[in-house]
Amino acid sequence: MEIPKIYLKKTISQLKAIAVKHCNKYIRNRDFGKPCISCGKYTELQAGHFFSAGQFSALRFTENNIHGQCKKCNYFLSGNLLNYQKNLIDRIGMDEFLKLEELKDIYKRSRYKWDRFSLIKVILKYKKLNASK
């Protein structure tokens, strides 16, 4: 994989912000036309994480952990997680939900740190996916 020169002088924080921007755009496009994962309202969606991206950094870009969520549920109701869980299981199935739970348990015990090359890989993946939409 050839790394675009534009990313080589970016800091980890800058790369993470770019990756978040492209990943969140992909999630909003993927879930366009669907209701909020938590409350079921049809409104403008944000990319809401079931397992907090701050607490579970390793799951920040795990697509089954990120779904379209309204601002009220995402910000003001702290994810509205009881409803999120119920609807998440309906959306991805119990097997995938249990895999996500396993990943959470694995990463709960570690202090995952994103490195430059992993973040660049995430950026390139979501830029490509967004371009194909």
By C-alpha distance, which of 66, 68, 63, 78 is closest to 40? 68
Contact criterion met (CB below 8 Å) for 71 and 38: no
Q: How confident is the model at residue 109 (pLDDT cuts 50, 70, 90)?
A: confident
Summarised one tens digit per residue, pLDDT across range 2-47 is 788 899 899 999 999 999 999 999 999 999 999 999 999 999 999 9
Alpha-carbon distance of 123 to 7, in angstroms, equals: 10
pTM (whole model) above 0.95:
no
Contact criterion met (CB below 8 Å) for 57 and 114: yes
